[in-house]
Amino acid sequence: MAHRMVDFSYTSEFMLVGVMELAGDFSGVVLQAGVLLLEFGLLLVLHRNKTYLKI
């Protein structure tokens, strides 16, 4: 659901553009790792603030 509100790929690319240039052929792997870290970081912040979605 968060993918609809936040473009994690764009944010990760913005934050890791220098590392992706250095990675060369592995820039896609670096991008996906950045996306994964951003998603887990958001989940960690929401969990620490005890912000949960009731369905």
Tens-place pLDDT, residues 25-48:
999 999 999 999 999 998 899 899
pLDDT at 1 over 90: no
Cα-trace Rg, the chain: 13
pLDDT of residue 35: 93
Written as one letter, the residue type at 50 is: K
pLDDT of residue 54: 73
Question: What's the pTM?
Answer: 0.81
pLDDT of residue 15: 92
Per the CB < 8 A criterion, the answer to whether 6 and 12 are in contact is no
Please give the torsion angle defined by the CA atoms of residues 43, 46, 47 and 50, in that order, rounded to the nearest 10 degrees.
-160
Binned at pLDDT 50, 70 and 90, residue 51 comes out as confident
